Copies of this chain bind each other. A is one copy, B any other.
Amino acid sequence: MIGEIIAIGDELTSGRILNTNSRFAAGQLFAAGHEIIAMATISDIRAEIGAAIKKAIKRSDFVIVTGGLGATSDDLTNEAVASALHRPATLHPEILARIREQLPDSPVKVNATLEKLAWLPAGAEVLKPEARMAGHLIIHDDTPVFFLPGVPHEMRELLTERVIPRLARWKAGATRHVLQKVYKIFGLAEIEINNMLSHLEKSDPDLRIGYYPVFPEVHLSLTIIGTEKSRSEKLFISMDQEIQAIMGDNLLGFDDDTLESVVGSLLKGKAKTLAVAESCSGGLIAHKITTVPGSSAYFTGGVVAYSNDLKTGLLGVDPAIIDKSGAVSGETARAMALGICRRTGADIGVAVTGIAGPDGGTAEKPVGTVYFGLAGENKVIDLCRHFKGDRWKIQEITAQTALNLVRLLLLDKQLPSH
């Protein structure tokens, strides 16, 4: 079914609160086979709320409204609906009784305010009468409109327990099967991936491919929305295989995978340990590795060696190498990778030395020049890359490139050469 989500509240339109409700609802509804064509956020203005709901009813199969159901003066959803849909406020005695029972000793003023909660637009059906929670359904012009509280955990509970099952039973036969997979790609630009897959894009009307750059990766989504389950599954499997084959070594992982979680799983699977020696990435590689829970099992540690003294002192790089080739060189990167293995006892060592900018570049070695060293699995290699962008971008892509070298080494893939 085609749906719309409307979130209500000044706290959203003033940017004070991030709207996680609409995102949660969209994700759940999408996974349940629905298509959300629009999400709206409306400030606490009665006429705007009413107009948005009326318009959504006209063009959608169902509507989800969150927020504005409370008892304070800025909670206007019910009043807006009563007026816009000509459904006068109607007392729900069971809600009133519950309020009075829960607050027998409250001051009269508090009770009077809270009793507002017992008045709902005519025709409203309370979604979870047994719970102390706002939330109701109005079926208007044959369109179900679900009103959910703005409190995230209440909204989530009602959405998964009441809304999604109710929609699944709504007009049998209309259900569609949605299959989705996200691919994390590194080493190809969005536009290159688009070109490599463009022949698939138009191969089937049930298929959608999306491209989302999340620097330094590109995320690719494959979505199949069909009416016939077995057909959708067959299409999904064949497309998935095609995409994996085309992306090859550039495919880092799927869905919730990150490069650092993939590298972590590979290290655990092979019972190997890793250590890092960083110059221009300044600790970012170690930081990424250690965001993964349980990384202490395979990450022995790292050194951030900005100065030459630390490269020789902490990492044991021969000063003659730095004198001869320079601190930013392939020779130094190799020596750093070997040094961190020796100092930490790790099986694999990865090292970077380069110029993240904005200062420190020379004509010979401009900002963005980064040397990588990798030692382990009986190999020692070095590699030079020239990156573009600001300091943040250079540091990010440096860390990503270093971790990707470790991934390729562990997968026994061909390592990139100079």
Contact = CB atoms under 8 A, between A and B. Distances in A.
Interface in A146-161: 151
Given A11-B221, A113-B191, A310-B344, A282 B293 contact: no
A219 to B, nearest CB: 8
A306 B314 contact: no
Contacts of A16: 27, 182, 210-212, 221
A302 interface: yes
Contact of A23 (B18, B38, B287, B359): B18
Contact of A73 (B194, B296, B304, B358): B194
Secondary structure at the A interface, as helix, strand, loop or mixed, is mixed
Contacts of A23: 12, 15, 17-19
A163 to B, nearest CB: 14
Given A284-B283, A295-B282, A343 B313 contact: yes
Given A15-B23, A18-B20, A210-B14, A291 B392 contact: yes
Contact of A11 (B52, B212, B392): B212
A326 interface: no
Contacts of A306: 290, 296, 299-301
A257 to B, nearest CB: 14
A198 B73 contact: yes
Nearest to A182: B16
Given A10-B221, A73-B194, 18 more contacts: A10-B208, A14-B27, A15-B23, A16-B27, A16-B212, A18-B20, A282-B289, A282-B290, A283-B284, A283-B289, A286-B304, A290-B304, A290-B306, A293-B358, A300-B306, A301-B310, A302-B303, A314-B343
Interface of A: 10-20, 22-30, 35-45, 48, 52, 70-74, 109-110, 113-114, 151, 180, 182, 190-192, 194-195, 198, 201, 208-213, 215, 221, 223, 276, 278, 281-287, 289-291, 293-296, 299-307, 309-310, 313-314, 343-345, 356-360, 391-392, 395
